[in-house]
Structure 1
Amino acid sequence: MSRRTAQPPVVWDGPGSPGSPGSPDGAAADRPRAIRGALGPADRAFRVLAGGSGSAVLAIMLLVGGFLAYQASRALDVAGFSFLTTAEWNPDSGRFGIAAVLTGTCLIGLVAVSCALPLALGTALYISEYAPRRIRSTLISLVDLMAAVPSVVYGLWGFFFFQTHVVGLARWISTYFSWIPLFEVDGADPRDPLATATVYTSSTFIAGLVVALMVTPIACSVMREAFSQAPSGEREGALALGSTRWGMIRAVVLPYGRGGIIGGTMLGLGRALGETIAVYMIISPVFEIQPHLLQNGTNSVSSLIALRYGSSSPEGISALMAAGLALFVLTLVVNFIASSITARSRAGAGAEA
């Protein structure tokens, strides 16, 4: 009788092995295998540097918010909740609030985003889908260069050149759309050829158009990045089924980049809400709730701070800090929402299968 030698057990990790997805007990063991490796000195240094940088950004943001809250506590104790509902600005007499400047800030941001969205969307689509490859990098550089132009240059250009050329457009809008409350102009007859044009200058509309040109590069960059990540397989599949280029863009690129469009627009809105110098040089400051976009006179939180900081008393400085705190919270919320939407769009959220 022959004697068999003992054989070592065979370990099989394939589909039929115990604990694999194809075995009876595979459902319990169907989980990713944890891979652990020793980190080298370079990996440890990078992890510490990245974690420290992120923590430093959060710490600086918390310190800025804490500083503004501490400096604004004196004014907020005096004004209370009326700080959000009062349009007057007389900190020395105890009558002050941001109702007027906050309304102007939101209206300027609304005009800027309404004009920047179609401009940024069209530019991003042209660069990513229609522009010849040999000039694509040049167009990207030119668009990004717009973001490097200082705010004061935009302000000077808007005040001395752009404003005189857009007054006619403001008069035309007021002539045919004054039945809409936002486009109404008090004390002016747009059909009177002898009426003065100064009633249409230094308005929310003009300031919003200038700010729109400043936020367009930011929104365009986010949208273009989202469009460029649309899967090539779905692009080619749509074209192979007989779709036109615009049909492919409408069925594949735009749904895939929907999150990027929303995120880029909100990032631009956050930039528009905090713009200071360009708006300060164009508008005519008024401390009343002025909802008419085409009419002379408006205000914003950032312009208020730039206008009153140098000549304010200690009570006025505290009130300005309270206004800055409100703007800080508003822009922080907008940018957090935009960042979350943009992060989800990178994975193709919203794309149709």
Structure 2
Amino acid sequence: MVDLALKGEAVSVSKPSDRVDVLKRLRLNDLVFRILTRSAAIAVLIILGGIIISLVHGAWPALAKFGFGFLVSDTWNPVTEKFGAVAPIYGTLVTSAVAMVIAVPVGLFIAIFLTELCPMWLRRPIGIAIELLAGIPSIIYGIWGLFVFAPFLQQYVQPFIIDAFGNVPILSDLFAGPPYGIGILTAGLILAIMVLPFITSISRDVFAAVPPVLKEAAYGLGCTTWEVSRDVVLPFTRVGVIGGVMLALGRALGETMAVTFVIGNAHRISPSLLAPGTTISATIANEFTEAVGDTYTSSLIALGLILFVITFIVLAAARLMLMRLNARVGT
């Protein structure tokens, strides 16, 4: 009786022929495993390639008809079949920027509080509350934003902002106009609430993974909690934090239903954040079922292609930034 151990599997064999059979079976299992894993990886590339081909094929009639003008025109008139993508692109970028400006610092501060300052008995309730925010469907955010949040902003917040910044250069244009309640600012605030759990949860997990000896050494040198968080925790976890921010940004760029409820769905560009606007995803959701004619449908698909390109550029920029950070610290 001979014990054969291969790849962590112990098998008892009594004859050389049995040993050969066991080796063949193990090689076959390993071959099947490699084929399955490789096929799964290739399937991702095939699906991604199929999506790109479908978007390009569907968007080509509009791109061929309007050319570069599709990217620089703000006209959106289904009656005359004149379409431009500037207004949806502008709304998508601005609402996402507003959301990230608000959600990133708030999310990081919450994560730092949970890992460094929060009492043990309070950590679990706050963590559960954050996870519940992430689990709320986007349409619920939209309904709440339209019927509760937007009227509150219209009655109390936006009039105060208009009066406060009315005589301040730049800010007077940024917060000008009547208080509609709905608009780009409202959509950005709703997006900030929606992406906040992603930033907080990922940041909290990576902050908790920092070796305690590093923080203890910093405290031993007389550093404050803020200095430890700024100079030890954040540099050590920069890859995870940036990953969480990029995940949140991707959610903000592609969010549809919640934004559709509160942004106003107006195809125009206004310097004021209080004015109604639209986004790429909101435009597609609102008009795809009503699109009549090849040009109209193709223009909506072209918006989807543009959103895909924007997301790709954002992810590529994030990877480039991480590579530069790693090269700067010599890792």
**TM-score category (smaller protein):** 0.7 to 0.9
Hey, what does 2:104 align to over in structure 1? Answer: 117
Give the conservation status (yes or no) of the 8 Å contact 1:267–1:334. no
Hey, what does 1:26 align to over in structure 2? Answer: none
* 1:306 is aligned to 2:318: no
* Alpha-carbon distance change, 48 to 341 in structure 1, aligned in 2, over 3 angstroms: farther
Superposed displacement of residue 74, structure 1: 0.7
* 1:86 is aligned to 2:65: no
* Alpha-carbon distance change, 126 to 60 in structure 1, aligned in 2, over 3 angstroms: same
For structure 2, the residue ranges without an aligned partner over 5 or more in a row are 1-25
**1:307-345, CA deviations, whole angstroms, 9 ceiling, x for partnerless residues?**
111111122111100011101111232234446767999
Give the conservation status (yes or no) of the 8 Å contact 1:215–1:268. yes
**Count of paired positions:** 301
* 1:68 is aligned to 2:55: yes
Superposed displacement of residue 114, structure 1: 1.1
Hey, what does 2:170 align to over in structure 1? Answer: 180
Identity of aligned residues (%): 36
* 1:240 is aligned to 2:240: no
* 1:208 is aligned to 2:199: no
Q: 2:38 aligns with which of 43, 46, 51?
A: 51
**CA–CA distance in 2 between the matches of 1:136 and 1:44?**
47
Superposed displacement of residue 260, structure 1: 3.3
Give the conservation status (yes or no) of the 8 Å contact 1:116–1:215. yes
Hey, what does 1:30 align to over in structure 2? Answer: none
**CA–CA distance in 2 between the matches of 1:222 and 1:326?**
28
* Alpha-carbon distance change, 200 to 93 in structure 1, aligned in 2, over 3 angstroms: closer
The amino acid across from 2:280 in the alignment is V
Q: Matched residue of 1:200: which SS?
A: coil
**CA–CA distance in 1 between the matches of 2:214 and 2:248?**
29
* Alpha-carbon distance change, 344 to 50 in structure 1, aligned in 2, over 3 angstroms: farther
Superposed displacement of residue 138, structure 1: 4.5
> Which stretch has the larger CA shift, 45-54 or 210-219?
45-54
* 1:293 is aligned to 2:280: no
Give the conservation status (yes or no) of the 8 Å contact 1:92–1:316. no
**CA–CA distance in 1 between the matches of 2:121 and 2:319?**
32
The amino acid across from 1:300 in the alignment is T
* Alpha-carbon distance change, 92 to 224 in structure 1, aligned in 2, over 3 angstroms: same
The amino acid across from 2:135 in the alignment is A
Larger helix proportion of the pair: 2
For structure 1, the residue ranges without an aligned partner over 5 or more in a row are 1-38, 189-198
Q: Matched residue of 1:333: which SS?
A: helix
**CA–CA distance in 2 between the matches of 1:349 and 1:231?**
22
Give the conservation status (yes or no) of the 8 Å contact 1:124–1:220. yes
**1:184-238, CA deviations, whole angstroms, 9 ceiling, x for partnerless residues?**
324x5xxxxxxxxxx3321111111011111111122232233223232211111
Superposed displacement of residue 165, structure 1: 1.8
Give the conservation status (yes or no) of the 8 Å contact 1:174–1:294. no
Give the conservation status (yes or no) of the 8 Å contact 1:270–1:331. yes
| TM-score in terms of structure 2 length | 0.81
* Alpha-carbon distance change, 207 to 270 in structure 1, aligned in 2, over 3 angstroms: same
**1:119-166, CA deviations, whole angstroms, 9 ceiling, x for partnerless residues?**
211111122222334553443343223222111000011111111222
Give the conservation status (yes or no) of the 8 Å contact 2:81–2:296. no
The amino acid across from 2:163 in the alignment is T
**CA–CA distance in 2 between the matches of 1:304 and 1:340?**
31
Hey, what does 2:240 align to over in structure 1? Answer: 260
The amino acid across from 1:271 in the alignment is R
> Which stretch has the larger CA shift, 276-285 or 253-262?
253-262
**CA–CA distance in 1 between the matches of 2:83 and 2:188?**
25
